[in-house]
Structure 1
Amino acid sequence: MKCAVYVAVLAALVGGSLQAALKLPSYLKPCSRSDPKLNDCALKNGIAAVPSLLKGDAKYHIPVLDPFHLKHIDIAQGTGPVKISLALDDVDIKGLKNVEVKAVNFDVKKKEIGVDLVVKGQGLTVDSKYKIDGQVLILPITGNGNVNLKIENPEGSFKVSYDLVKKEDGKEYIKLRDSTIDFSLSKAIFDFKNLFNGDKALGDNMNVFLNENWREVFTEVKPVLSEAMRTVILQILDQVVTTVPYDQLLVA
């Protein structure tokens, strides 16, 4: 399967690296890396930090996360039952206020971090401008306009490994390395407006077809969506761990 994703995030998210060491934000409480219950501490503190993180923090280049805005997502799916070129612009993702941290796993020796998340309530809603062309299963699809996507009961697991690097100030910082993400959902509901140059009958039938076959569609585009999510999470996480010394994030 060949697929490509290009994610352009707000300038506030990726613009410029922060050079001077910063203190850990007050809403992020540190844990001790020697604590035998480190994961319990990290989970408790992670849950407590979510409401503040969702508001964003300009000092750490973290944008507002609900609603979360992406300028552009470009999806090219070239093989398999779904063969589409899909461009999304001005993407607004709502519902992260209902995110729940289920587990946090630190492996200090292996230098690995894992986080399990679930979005409760109404799940996530995605509103965007779109342009699509290609084929979904047995049917051609083309159009441009507005699209609404509802994602029910999304759950995800994110894992990342890291190194410790010493900077010019003599302090150690986390440098993120390899990462993976996996996620699932109970249902996806599509609503593409203006498909087939505004032919309402064809457009309505295609939306019905997409929603009846959402599992097959999701399976095909999941690698692309996963890459988009992984990129965004890494960008946000990187803003904190590369500017706050390691001994403040995980005290001795």
Structure 2
Amino acid sequence: MELPLAIVLLLGCASVSSVQGHASELPSGIERCKLMDEHCLINGINYVLRNYAKSGIKELNVIPLDPLHIKKFKIGRNPHSPVNIDLSFRDVDLLGLHQGVARKASGFTSDLSRSIELVMDVPEIVVKGPYSVDGRILILPITGKGNAEIRLSKTKVHAVIKFRPVSKGEHQTYAEVVDIKVEVTPQHVTYHLENLFNGQKDLSENMHALINENWQDIFNELKPGVSEAFGLIAKSVLDRIFGKLSLEQLFIV
């Protein structure tokens, strides 16, 4: 099966600066989808996730997506929320995307004023790496710094992306992300935060019991910040990709 070029690049979280020229110069087996061919796009996403998420695509300088390394992201305090915390992560790995299954990929047309919608189901997403937290959850203070492991089970990822066209010569139309909204909706979340309360075992166990018993309420409060962080990551990736190759190279138009 050939890989739709647009999806290889959409999923590639790396610089593609070594890719130059036209699609005909790209590695064999890379196929451009026709615009509005949602079936082609969905098949391409799922093929790439199954076969290239862990290894990457060396010919396109696309690094592996699973694990996906994230340098840092932060969820800030919300004084009006029962989950009023500063929660930050640095040098964390996001695992599980290779198991994702695309369900929808609509809106890819020559009219960039239309929104593009992507929907994917992921059996399990795991965030692992250093964290720090300070604030209050419900009525209890929480503080800690160490390694975290957060598991999101049966997660739906829904993204709506808006581009604007950028012309760079005849038959060279590039796409720039002007807005992106990502919603992450798991059916269950478990939290494990090492070294809470400077390693005080009783306090740590009580807090873990609290946050895991109330996982849904807590995640609902964190969800806007989590979704915003995912959106910023996705925007950075898409800007690098769609700034390198034109729509004429990505699609059959």
TM-score (norm 2): 0.83
Deviation at 1:26, TM superposition (A): 5.1
1:31 aligns with 2:33: yes
CA distance in 1, matches of 2:186, 2:63: 25
Deviation at 1:214, TM superposition (A): 0.8
Compared with structure 1, are the counterparts of its residues 53 and 175 closer, same or farther at alpha carbon in structure 2 (3 Å cutoff)? farther
CA distance in 1, matches of 2:128, 2:150: 7
What percentage of residue pairs aligned between the two structures are identical?
A: 28
Deviation at 1:106, TM superposition (A): 1.9
- Asked whether the 8 Å contact 2:144–2:197 carries over to 1, the reply is yes
Q: Report the 3-state secondary structure (helix = DSSP H, G, I; strand = E; otherwise coil) of the residue aligned with 2:52.
A: helix
- Asked whether the 8 Å contact 2:96–2:126 carries over to 1, the reply is yes
Compared with structure 1, are the counterparts of its residues 191 and 57 closer, same or farther at alpha carbon in structure 2 (3 Å cutoff)? same
In structure 2, the gaps of 5 or more residues are 1-11
- Asked whether the 8 Å contact 1:43–1:104 carries over to 2, the reply is yes
CA distance in 2, matches of 1:213, 1:25: 49
2:126 partner letter: T
1:29 partner letter: E
- Asked whether the 8 Å contact 2:180–2:231 carries over to 1, the reply is yes
Aligned length: 236
Matches within 5 A, 1:1-252: 20-21=20-21, 23=23, 28-33=30-35, 38-50=37-49, 51-57=51-57, 62-79=62-79, 80-106=81-107, 108=109, 109=111, 110-120=113-123, 123-168=124-169, 171-252=172-253
- Asked whether the 8 Å contact 2:13–2:65 carries over to 1, the reply is no
1:45 partner letter: G
Deviation at 1:53, TM superposition (A): 4.7
1:141 partner letter: I
Deviation at 1:48, TM superposition (A): 2.1
Deviations 1:173-209 (A, max 9, x none): 2222222111211111011111111110110110010
1:140 partner letter: P
- Asked whether the 8 Å contact 1:13–1:61 carries over to 2, the reply is no
- Asked whether the 8 Å contact 2:46–2:100 carries over to 1, the reply is no
Q: Report the 3-state secondary structure (helix = DSSP H, G, I; strand = E; otherwise coil) of the residue aligned with 1:77.
A: coil
CA distance in 1, matches of 2:31, 2:222: 37
In structure 1, the gaps of 5 or more residues are 1-11
Identify which range, 217-226 or 232-241, moves more after superposition: 232-241
- Asked whether the 8 Å contact 1:21–1:243 carries over to 2, the reply is no
Compared with structure 1, are the counterparts of its residues 115 and 28 closer, same or farther at alpha carbon in structure 2 (3 Å cutoff)? farther
Q: Report the 3-state secondary structure (helix = DSSP H, G, I; strand = E; otherwise coil) of the residue aligned with 1:78.
A: coil
- Asked whether the 8 Å contact 1:22–1:243 carries over to 2, the reply is no
CA RMSD of aligned residues (A): 2.6
1:129 partner letter: P
